[in-house]
Amino acid sequence: MEYLTYCGNNIINARLPQGAEILYAPREIAGIGRRQVPHAVASAFQNPLGMPPLDKLVGSPSRVLIAFDDNCQPFPETSKPDIRQQALETLLPLLYSYGVQQKNIRLVCAIALHRKMKKHELARMVGPRIMREFHPQQLDNFDAEDRENIVDLGETEEGERVQVYRDVVESDLVIYVDSVQIPLNGGHKSVAVGLGTYESISNHHDPKMTADVPHVMQPDDSRMHESVERISRVIQKHSRIMVMEAAMNNAIYPFHLRYLAKPNRRCNIVERFMKGITPTAMALTPEPVRRVLLQGMKGAYTPIEINAGAIDAVHARTLEAMKTQLAVSVPRQYDTMVFGLPDLSPYAVGARINPVLVVSDVLGYVFNWFYNKPFVKPGGVAIILNPVFEVFHDEYHVAYRKFYEEVLPATADPAEMRERFQEEYARDPYLIDCYRRRYAHHGFHPFTVWYWTTYALKYLSEVILVGPPSDTVARRLGVSWSPSLEHALDRAREITGGDNVVALTIPPFFYVNVTDSS
């Protein structure tokens, strides 16, 4: 059985055993057209859920903070105009019409501990007019290490430290503009994480949050999300927060590439022909050219719904819309998962994916994309198809390189690395300077993505890399290596004693729902 999938910047036909199952995302739900988005945004703010309309919340003296996501979402980025630009170009005139003065509005990109956005990246998000009117005095990146502009609000009932951007507390209204592709994002996570500090974020981005409970990619039954919500509740006692969430459909591919996301039965004659020739064409294309083609792909997704209002009311609607778009039901768990990982990651926009992200993107994200329970059996095997190049972006991934060269040779165990290395990296003056002034992810960030693998590393019997020329990288990452997929599948069969294999065709994103209640 052929499995058309990514392997880094390549697209290949991998051979799976007969009887293997290949999962595809559901058909895309028709979204709100680009021209209709401004109307939908205005309607959402004029008819909010769970709180008064916007014109009742602000007036002439009001100070308003508008926060928005960085380029981790929507991912990959869409063609212009960006959903943030459309939302802001609708929201700002509304605020002006309600008497709010431009000088009393501040816009901030809520990067949390991610790298700061460069000027051209901010411009692409918000559009040239808003950049001219607000940047840099009233529009910039949040800085989690700018201690003069951080306030400490005490602790939650569980003793979790609560720190947040000062303007969240000092503004009359905080508006968070959010596009949501998976249930991980949005809701209480937006302000509490996006505008939080290491002291707050380290409470929930911790191996103990997922050591025994798998849910990290959705709020239901998640210790991580419970911690985020506790922190958010404290912040809400000191500020008024309105969120706008655009629940996105899964139309990641532009029209001419949508065949990559479809099973043959849903393809027309032309699409089947394209599926047949793509692996050969890619094999004949030099790797640098393949990389340019893949990195240049723009998403075509649009919002299914746009709602504004109180966090709980809005996010409940978002999660319901997400489930309608994302859920793929399967009757049972599988012995072995096979996944071809592209050279793409929300933490490597504008960069190559590095080895740490290869493991975390599959075991932290893809493995956890389920609703009720893992789609792999306890003691199962995960096979990752990716060349895993030992490359680290000189600006963005400074802490990642250090993590790979210093932490992983000592231990791949999340709990041990937390005790031995986390504080050193989070407080390192050089890494803090790189985060603040040199567009690098915070020194704590590589730990956060590795911690999300905690449950998978305990749950699975083995993780096998296929793609690197030798086992060097695998040994550093604390996983296994096979010279071929056939060899890896034989190894998985020996370990599990079973031959139920599932392969995932992602992107587009989807969540698996196992219907077997056993």
Which residues lie below 8 Å from residue 118, measured CB to CB, with a gap of 6+?
Answer: 439
pLDDT tens for the chain, 518 residues long, are 999 999 999 999 999 999 999 999 999 999 999 999 999 999 999 999 999 999 999 999 999 999 999 999 888 888 899 999 999 999 999 999 999 999 999 999 999 999 999 999 999 999 999 999 999 999 999 999 999 999 999 999 999 999 999 999 999 999 999 999 999 999 999 999 999 999 999 999 999 999 998 899 999 999 999 999 999 999 999 999 999 999 999 999 988 999 999 999 999 999 999 999 999 999 999 999 999 988 888 999 999 999 999 999 999 999 999 999 999 999 999 999 999 999 999 999 999 999 999 999 999 999 999 999 999 999 999 999 999 999 999 999 999 999 999 999 999 999 999 999 999 999 999 999 999 999 999 999 999 999 999 999 999 999 999 999 999 999 999 999 999 999 999 999 999 999 999 999 999 999 999 998 76
Tokens representing 366? 């893809």
Q: What is the pLDDT of residue 270?
A: 96
What domains, with CATH codes, occur in the chain?
Answer: 2-252+301-514 (3.40.50.11440), 255-295 (no CATH)
As a whole number of angstroms, the distance between CA 12 and CA 387 comes to 12
Instruction: Give the CA diameter of the chain.
Output: 70
Q: Look up residue 445 and give its amino acid.
A: H
Q: What is the DSSP string of 195-230?
A: TB-HHHHHHHSSHHHHSS----SSSTT-HHHHHHHH
Quickly count: other Cβ atoms within 10 Å of residue 149's Cβ: 13
What is the reported pTM?
0.96
Per-position b or e across 49-71, b if 16+ CB within 10 A of its CB: bebeebeebbeeebbbbbbbbbb
Question: What is the reported pLDDT for 517?
Answer: 73
| Contact status, residue 198 vs residue 144, Cβ threshold 8 Å | yes
- pLDDT at residue 295, as a whole number: 86
pLDDT confidence of residue 518: 67
On whether the CB atoms of residues 69 and 248 are closer than 8 A, the answer is no
